[in-house]
Amino acid sequence: MSGIGILGALGLFIIFILTNVIKVLKEYEKGVIFTLGRVGRKAAGPGLVLLVPGLQVMRKVDMRTLVHDVPTQDVISQDNVSVKVNAVIYYRVVDSVRAIVQVENFMAATSQLAQTTLRSVLGKHDLDEMLQERDKLNKDIQEILDHQTEAWGIKVSNVEIKHVDVDQSMIRAIAKQAEAERERRAKVILAEGEQQAAAKLAEASDILARSQGAMELRYLNSLQEIAGDRTNTIVFPFSLEQIAKAVRGENR
């Protein structure tokens, strides 16, 4: 064999060694090694990992927090309103061995589970709750996902509902409903104000009726207010009882 052939064979052997024997894992990576089909208890890495060609195979797992957009889902709320909702989930692998062994594709599985959980949770709430209690719904979805993905070695750290889109015809109906609600509250407030004012007037009337001196002070105060007005007409307020007393006095 010529020298060139030997060098070529040596080069192929070195390439084979580098690609099949020596593996380098980054700081955020773990390697799940299968030896004759059986997986070890612990994952390898990061750093340099040596494999036995033909006997060992390694699967890399990214241990960083992963961000996944949940596609827009059609949701029917509890009050029969059709909305389109999308969200984003943040999760990471905490056990790389389980993430590879327990589920075929943990990314796809987590995505599908997030979609079904989003529809299931939001379908139990009214539209108003979807719009006003988003933080509570985010937490509920996160807790459900985290519990269900625990067996896969996945930790769901956060869920954020991004958009709740309502049909235009439904938006107009909601606007009318909100306007009617504002008018109802305004009428209730006005009625409550009139009720309180009437109660205060009745209370004042009782006080004046029980005290002759208070009635006379009120009478004098009214005269003072009338005298301060720029008018040529002065009205003296007399009660029917006072007029009757005056008439009886004249008859005597």
Residues 70 and 152 reside in one and the same domain:
yes
CB 68 within 8 A of CB 111: yes
The reply to whether 77 and 56 lie within a common domain is no
Q: Both 156 and 80 in a single domain?
A: yes
Scan for tokens 């380098």, then name that residue.
24
Long-range Cβ contact pairs of 192-196 (< 8 A, separation 24 or more): none
What DSSP designation does 169 have? H
Return d(Cα 134, Cα 160) in angstroms, integer: 8
Domain membership flag for residue 245 = yes
Helix (H) or strand (E) holding 154: strand 154-166
**Count of the separate structural domains present in the chain:** 3
Q: How many CA within 13 A on the CB side of residue 97?
A: 10
Q: Is residue 177 part of a domain?
A: no
Residue 122 and residue 210 in one domain: no
Q: What is the pLDDT of residues 176-229, one digit of tens each?
A: 777 787 888 888 898 888 888 888 877 777 766 666 666 666 666 666 666 666
What pLDDT, on the 0 to 100 scale, is given for residue 225? 67
Query: Does some domain include residue 181?
Result: no
Question: For tokens 């009318």, what's the residue?
Answer: 176
- Residue recorded with tokens 């002759």: 212
Token readout for 23 is 């593996």
Residues 52, 72: one domain?
Answer: no
Same domain, residue pair 106 and 195: no
Return the CA Rg of the chain.
Answer: 42
**pLDDT of 252:** 47
Q: Is 123 helix (H, G, I), strand (E, B) or coil?
A: coil
The answer to whether residue 196 sits within a structural domain is: yes
Same domain, 138 and 80: yes
Which one of 13, 34, 61 terminates a domain? 61
Rounded CA-CA distance 213/175 in Å is: 57
pLDDT profile of the chain (252 residues), mean per 10? 68 72 90 90 86 88 94 88 91 94 93 94 88 91 95 95 80 72 85 85 72 63 65 58 56 48
pLDDT at 116: 94
Model confidence over 14-24: pLDDT tens digits?
777 777 788 88
List residues bridging with 21 in a β-sheet.
Answer: none
Q: Distance between terminal CA atoms of the chain? A: 158
Is residue 116 within 8 A of residue 172, CB to CB? The reply is no
* Pair 120, 205 in one domain: no
Q: Which long-range contacts (CB under 8 A, 24 or more apart) does 158-161 make?
A: 158/89, 158/90, 159/87, 159/88, 159/89, 159/90, 159/114, 160/87, 160/88, 160/89, 161/85, 161/86, 161/87, 161/118, 161/130, 161/134, 161/137
Domain boundary, last residue among 39, 61, 83: 61
Q: Which domain holds residue 91?
A: 66-166
In a domain, 183, yes or no: no
Tell me the CATH number at 136. Answer: 3.30.479.30
Closest by CA to 86, choosing from 118, 127, 128, 130, is: 118
CA torsion 105→111→115→116, rounded to 10°? 30
One domain for residues 201 and 245:
yes
